[in-house]
Structure 1
């Protein structure tokens, strides 16, 4: 009996462990196709209203089927809706901020327009489903006592900065010890129909602490320059990535399986080196360490093209350019197929700058083109890259 129980234990362990594959080595050149791109900047007419840009459109949602961008101002409850093709403001949607239909419970962190027409507001500890009449339809707590299914451990939390599926059926995020900047333990999904929680333990072998810059400016008070983790939804499945290493985890919801992928690029470093101070004693030292850190390789989030079943990712690194005898930021665009194999990688021209303080700003794909937010004198603009792959 003991042997049988031990066997079951190991079956469970291996079923939850990510399936690893040999790192995909990405060639410098691809023989079976040619890749070209064009780049320009487009400006959005906001009319007489001042757009909300305090979060650099992080709280916004682009809806591919509509070609519309929904941008939430969490302070006023106003949602500006922009027509990307027409490059102008289409309309405003006004929510109440407080009261029974108010959207502010703690701090609204984003919005999602679902296929059913509902607008879902992410608040850090709660999710609100709002009807087209701006009235509250339902709410979902991200805490144990309000959810069925799995239980969070003591002091564990679900990050409110997660993603909501296109059909509005579930919310996905990371869970772990967020209050103390502690370890991330895995992925969490909240079924918004049954109001149940599923925890997916993942051994991320998290190395982000190695690259954390910390300044204790007052006893018990710290200023941090962290690394970042990202989530991209692929239907019911989840892609988890980070800013410091060329890797990803893919959770297949139907199979309830986790896959790990690593990549070896020949155009950019595959992991951050960490050649900067981690513990500093002044604002000047913090800025100096931050500058050095920002020059090392940074990987942005995976961006999905829902029409072509392709994925894109911008990465950047300061590199030596022998012909110029100087060091410059060089940006690399990686193109993944539906199986997340890299089918092309392109070092962009030296003149190209993809906006973003660390990783690329809010980016989405509209009609096959990548739009990356650019703040131009407090107005919305986008750096637009149009890729083209021709197979021989």
Structure 2
């Protein structure tokens, strides 16, 4: 990732204060302007090893909180002054320990943070004190129960707010999915079936006597104005779940520049690494969809999609992986306003969000934290 971003910045940016504009073809003509900003870490070395997958934004987008797995601190980064403002200390072990199997952190409020593990969730205040801890695996919840073969998924399929936890539940036996809503005491569960069965066609397993490896498509849950927004990388379907009304709305749209879903058929269980790599690389050459992000200033959503156009060969030492990256712009009701190929992006964006009406895309430049900012003119 770092190599791509170095090349990307060198080709697009002359300096932090200068911008390049370029046009495109789309439903509505778009113009992009690009610049970059860097974060001043002071005397510290910011934790970038996870590509900001352990980071969380506060509601106003003024601060980025990044969990440092190396020293178990939260790096509090001021995005307005673009400086590391503080390091909040947490313990790894003991009564207030976050544990050593943390794979994600969520900022719940200005005072609370959740550390997600594979079998439990710990709630802490920002002074490092554990407020509560809840198991989420092999539990007999009140209300709807997890049946045999069901469990909460990981990665980007949890989210928190002050009242509840929302997560994606997969039934491995039935190959089906539900949305699970746990109330604030993590005891009462409500399950709502959701149509994500297509994800099962792109789950790959390498099963050999010496090694087991898995690859599976991602899904994402976010919250927007009372609705939970559920998306996945296999197709462009957007699901809106209203927890108060217990209603599920399905939004489909037809892209003008790409397919609306992955369509290939693959050998999902392989016995050699070569077969596994071939299948997983082939699926990357089909379109993949990222989660939409909300632009409060301009009252619209942005959604990236991408597909590989050049896969690295084992015979070639240098990295030659490239993707075509597309951007779709929606209004507040997810009606498509415009879509475009973003020619200056040759890899799928990593951690990104909207601040001050601009898309901020994480960049690791020689182990320094920066953001490429994309300003979009309709």
Q: TM-score range by the shorter chain?
A: 0.7 to 0.9
Deviation of 1:313 after TM superposition, in Å, equals 0.9
Q: Which residue number in structure 1 is paired with residue 234 of structure 2?
A: 244
1:185 matches 2:177: yes
1:310/1:338 contact within 8 Å kept: yes
Q: Which residue number in structure 1 is paired with residue 58 of structure 2?
A: 63
Partners of 2:195 and 2:265 in 1: CA distance: 25
Partners of 1:158 and 1:278 in 2: CA distance: 22
Partners of 2:32 and 2:69 in 1: CA distance: 36
Partner SS, residue 338 of structure 1: coil
What stretches of structure 1 of length at least 5 have no aligned partner? 1-26, 321-326
Partner SS, residue 103 of structure 2: strand
Deviation of 1:226 after TM superposition, in Å, equals 2.1
Partner SS, residue 286 of structure 1: helix
2:35/2:373 contact within 8 Å kept: yes
1:29 matches 2:27: yes
Q: 1:368 aligns with which of 351, 354, 357?
A: 357
Deviation of 1:52 after TM superposition, in Å, equals 2.2
Q: Which residue number in structure 1 is paired with residue 43 of structure 2?
A: 48
What are the Cα deviations for residues 102-154 of structure 1, in whole angstroms up to 9, with x where unaligned? 111x6222223333422222223222221232211222332464743321112
Partners of 2:187 and 2:270 in 1: CA distance: 44
Partners of 1:286 and 1:144 in 2: CA distance: 31
Partner SS, residue 98 of structure 1: coil
1:387 matches 2:376: yes
Q: Which residue number in structure 2 is paired with residue 7 of structure 1?
A: none
1:186/1:199 contact within 8 Å kept: yes
1:64/1:306 contact within 8 Å kept: no
Partners of 1:44 and 1:286 in 2: CA distance: 39
Q: Which residue number in structure 2 is paired with residue 335 of structure 1?
A: 329
1:216 matches 2:224: no
1:369/1:386 contact within 8 Å kept: yes
Q: Which residue number in structure 1 is paired with residue 195 of structure 2?
A: 203
Partners of 1:244 and 1:208 in 2: CA distance: 6
What stretches of structure 2 of length at least 5 have no aligned partner? 1-24, 311-320
1:109 matches 2:100: no
Partner SS, residue 149 of structure 2: coil
Gap change, CA 1:150 and 1:79, over 3 Å in 2: same
1:317 matches 2:307: yes
Partners of 2:205 and 2:291 in 1: CA distance: 24
Q: Which residue number in structure 2 is paired with residue 284 of structure 1?
A: 274
What are the Cα deviations for residues 149-176 of structure 1, in whole angstroms up to 9, with x where unaligned? 32111232122443434x5222111012
TM-score (norm 2): 0.81
Partners of 1:333 and 1:298 in 2: CA distance: 12
Partners of 2:265 and 2:191 in 1: CA distance: 35
1:64/1:366 contact within 8 Å kept: no
Partner SS, residue 263 of structure 1: coil
Partners of 1:87 and 1:60 in 2: CA distance: 16
Q: Which residue number in structure 1 is paired with residue 262 of structure 2?
A: 272
2:150/2:171 contact within 8 Å kept: yes
Q: Which residue number in structure 2 is paired with residue 11 of structure 1?
A: none
CA-based RMSD = 2.8
Deviation of 1:342 after TM superposition, in Å, equals 1.6
Partners of 1:386 and 1:278 in 2: CA distance: 40
Partners of 1:328 and 1:160 in 2: CA distance: 28
